[in-house]
Structure 1
Amino acid sequence: MATLANSPASQHWSYFLNGLEHASNWPKTFISFYTSSSIQKAMLTMFLLNGVFFLGAIVFLETVYPTATFLGCTWVSLLGYPTYIALLVINGKFLDIVALKSYHIQAKQQKQKTTTSVVETMASTILTIILYLNAGIFAALLYKLPFIGLISSFLMNCIISSYYCFEYQWIYQGWNLEKRLSYMEKHWAYFLGFGFPATVITFFLTFLRSGAVFSIIYPFATTTYSQTLASGAKAQTEWTLPNRIPFFYPVRKMNDLIILVVRLVGGVHADSIVSEKKLASLKQE
C-alpha cells in the first residue's frame, strides 16, 4: 500500500512523463516569442552570442588548431574558458528578461516581489553561486562511481537542468533557496522528466560545447515551465517509490562546509551569508 512516504511507481512515471511533456511544449515557447519583442531580442541575442560566436569559435579552434598550444594550454582552453565565464554574466541579463516576461505572460496577475535589502540580496546570490558550484562538483563525482556512475550523474544533471529553468520563476514568487530545493525533492519525478531533454542534448558533449548548447536551449526551456505541478499520493497495491528523494542532501552539506570556512576566514563580514541561510531554514520549518 502507498504511504505518506511512498507512492505507486506508475504515479511517479506519470509525473515524469508530465515533466517531459512540459519541457517539450514548444507551442508555448512560440507564443511567448511572438507576443513579446523583449523575448525575441533576448533569445536572438543569446543565440548569436552562444550559438554563432562561442560555439562557432570552439568548433573552429578544435578543427583548425586542435593541438596548438600557448603557455602550455590549447587555444580552446586558453580562449574558451574565459569567454564561457564572461558569457555566464552576459547570459544572465538576457535570461532575466526572458524569464520575467514569460512569467508575466503565464501568470494571471503580476506578483510583487518582497522587498529585500542589498545585503540580503547579495547573500542570497552568493548562496546560489555556492549551490551551482557544489551541484556541479557532486554530479562530476557521481560520474566517477563504478557501474552506476554514468546513470547517476545523468539523473543529477536532469535535476540541475530543471532547477536552472525554474529558478527565476521561484525567485519572482519570493521562494528562498531551501524552499526551492525541498520543492524539487518532493516533485523529483516531474523534474527528472523536465530536465531530461536538455540533459540528453548536452550531457555527452565536452564541457565548453555543452555550456554553449545549453545556453542556446535554456531560454526556450525557461518559457515552457508549468505554473502548477501534479502532487499527492494515491493508495494502490503495487510497487512504490518514495515521494521525496533528497538529491540535494550532499550539496547542502557541501554548502554548509563552505559557509563554515567563509565564516572562519571572513569573520563578521560573513555574518550576512550565515544569517540568510538560517533565515531560509527557519522559514522552511
Structure 2
Amino acid sequence: MGIKGILAAFLKGFYHSFKGMLVITRLDKESNERRSRHSPTIRQKHIDGEDSPNTPRKKENSKVIIKVMQCAMLNGGIFLLSVLIFEYVLLPGLDKLFVFLFGDETFLNKVIWCWIKYILLLIYKTLWLVPMFIISKIINAFWFQDIADSAYRYSRGRPVSFPSISELFADSIFSIFVQILFTIQANLINYILLHPVGYILYMVQLTLLHSLYCFEYKWFNMGWKLHERLAFIEAHWAYFIGFGLPLTILTQLSDSLVISGCVFSILFPFFIISGNEASPVMDASDVQLQFFSLVIAFANTFFSNVIGSRQRHQSTSLSSAMVYQTARVQRR
C-alpha cells in the first residue's frame, strides 16, 4: 500500500489507543444493564426471603472500572502524590527554612542542610519509596491481569487455556526476559547512534514494546505463544507504532523513573482495554521490522547454554529460530 497505507495504519493505531478511555464507561454501563436483566427483582427477593421490599438495591459497578479506579488511587493518589510532595514541597521548603535561619552561603547552613537532606533521603527511600515501589508493582500486576481478564471475558468470551502449566510458566518467564533485553537494546541504540537517529529508533522500539504490553493480555487469553505475538507486531509495525506512541510520550515527560512509572501505572489499564477492543490494520506494508530478532536469538542462546540442555531449552523458550520465522510469515 505504500506510504499512504503506512500513514493510515499509524493514525488508526494512534486513534485506537485512546478508545479505552471511552470504552470503559460503556463497559461499565452495559455490565450493569446485563446484571439487572439477569438479577431477580426486589419483589422476587422478598418472596424468596432474601431481602426486604423496602431495602434499596445498590448499583453494581463492573469489576473493570473498580480496578481502574483502584490503580489510579494507589499509583496517583498515594504513590505519585507522596513523591511530588517530598521532592517538590518538603525538600525545597526545608531548604528555604535553613536559608532563612542561617543565611544562604554560610558554612553552617551548607553542612547542616547537607547532612539533614542526606538523612531524609535515606529514610524516605528506605522506609517508603522502595517498599512502596515493590508493593505497588505486585498489586498492579494482579489488578492489570484482573482488568484484562474481565474486559476479555465481557467482550470476547472465555480465555483460551495454555496446554499445560509448565508451558504457561515458561512463556511468561521467556516473555519477561525478552522484554528486558529489548529495553536494553533500545537504550543501547539511543546511546550508540548519533542524535536524532538513535533517539528516533529508541522511541520506535519503545512504542512497539508498549504496544506489546497493551496487547499481550489479549493475545495471551487468545492462546498465542510469544513467537506469534512478536511476529504479529513486526509484521504490522505501522499500526503498533501509532498505538504505542501516546503511552510512550506520556511516560517520557519526566526524567524521574519513579514518576514515569507512576504515570505508566495510572494510564496502563486504559490502554489494556484499548488493546482488547482494537482491531489492528493488517495490510499496511509488506516490509517487516525485525527489531525483536536479535533479542530472541540472544534469549534462545542464553536459555540453551545457561539453564540446561537443548531439550529443556525447547520446552522453556517455546520458540526456535525456525518457528519464529514461520510465525512471522504466517501472520503477514
In the TM superposition, 1:141-156 aligns within 5 A as 141-144=188-191, 145-147=193-195, 148-156=197-205
**Residue 193 of structure 1 corresponds to which residue in structure 2?**
242
User: Which residue of the partner structure matches residue 269 of structure 2?
Assistant: 219
The answer for the alignment partner of 1:9 in structure 2 is 3
Per-residue deviation at 1:85? 3.3
Identity %: 26
SS across alignment from 2:274 = coil
Distance 1:243 1:78 in 2: 50
Map 1:25-44; keep pairs closer than 5 Å: 25=19, 26-34=21-29, 35=31, 37-44=62-69
Matches within 5 A, 1:262-273: 262-263=306-307, 267=308, 272=312
- 4+ residue segments displaced more than 4 Å: 70-74, 76-79, 270-273, 278-284
Q: Deviations over 1:246-272 (max 9, x none)?
A: 121232133234324532xxx36x964
Q: How does 1:174-213 map to 2 (within 5 A)?
A: 174-205=223-254, 206-213=256-263
Structure 2 counterpart of 1:57: 82
Shift of 1:106: 2.5
Q: Does structure 1 retain, via aligned residues, the 8 Å contact 2:225–2:318?
A: no
- Using the TM superposition, give the Cα deviation of residue 12 of structure 1 relative to its aligned residue in structure 2, in angstroms: 0.6
Aligned 8 A contact 1:162 1:194 in 2:
yes
The residue aligned with 1:127 is 174
Contact 1:185 1:246 in 2 (8 A): yes
Listed one character per residue, the Cα deviations across residues 218-269 of structure 1 (whole Å, up to 9, x for unaligned) are: 0011111245322226xxxxxxx65311121232133234324532xxx36x
Aligned counterparts of 2:210 and 2:129: Cα–Cα separation in 1: 22
Give the drift of 1:283: 5.6
Note if contact 1:186-1:243 (Cα within 8 Å) is conserved in structure 2. yes
Tell me the amino acid that sits aligned with residue 4 of structure 2: S
SS at match of 1:224: helix
Q: Aligned pair count?
A: 266
Hey, what does 2:111 align to over in structure 1? none
Question: How has the CA–CA distance of structure 1 residues 278 and 44 changed in structure 2, closer, same or farther, with 3 Å as cutoff?
Answer: closer
Query: Considering only CA atoms, is the larger Rg found in Structure 1 or Structure 2?
Result: 2
- Paired residue for 1:46? 71
Matched letter for residue 279 of structure 2: T
Query: Superposition RMSD on alpha carbons, in Å?
Result: 2.7
Matches of 2:78 and 2:205 in 1, distance apart?
29
Contact 2:300–2:313 (8 Å) recurs in 1: no
| 2:15 equivalent among 18, 21, 36 | 21
- In structure 2, do the counterparts of structure 1 residues 149 and 74 end up closer, same or farther at CA, with 3 Å as the change threshold? farther
Cα distance in structure 2, aligned partners of 1:188 and 1:40: 30
Residue pair 1:176, 1:280 contacting (<8 A) in 2 also:
no
Please report how far the alpha carbon of residue 155 of structure 1 lies from its aligned counterpart in structure 2 after TM superposition: 1.5
Whole-Å Cα distance in 1 between the matches of residues 127 and 185 of structure 2? Answer: 25
Higher relative contact order (CA 8 A, sep 6+): 1
Corresponding letter in the other structure for 1:184:
I
Q: Answer yes or no: is 1:229 the counterpart of 2:259.
A: no
Kindly tell me: are residues 72 and 23 of structure 1, through their superposed partners in 2, closer, same or farther at Cα, counting changes over 3 Å? closer
Contact kept in structure 1, 2:148 and 2:272, CA below 8 Å:
yes
CA shift in 2, pair 1:33/1:273, >3 Å: farther
1:131 positional shift: 1.7
Alpha-carbon distance, 1:83 to partner: 2.9
- Taking a change above 3 Å as real, the CA distance of residues 91 and 189 of structure 1, as seen in their structure-2 partners, is same
Alpha-carbon shift at residue 118 of structure 1 (Å)? 2.6
Unaligned 5+ segments in structure 1 are 1-6, 234-240
In 2, the alpha carbon distance for the partners of 1:192 and 1:77 equals 38
TM-score (normalised: structure 2): 0.72
Are 2:216 and 1:161 aligned? no
Residue type matched to 2:172 in 1? T
- Deviation of 1:188 after TM superposition, in Å, equals 0.3
- Per the TM alignment, residue 149 of structure 1 is displaced from its structure 2 partner at its CA by 2.2
Indicate the larger mover: 179-188 or 26-35: 26-35
Give TM-score, length-normalised by structure 1: 0.82
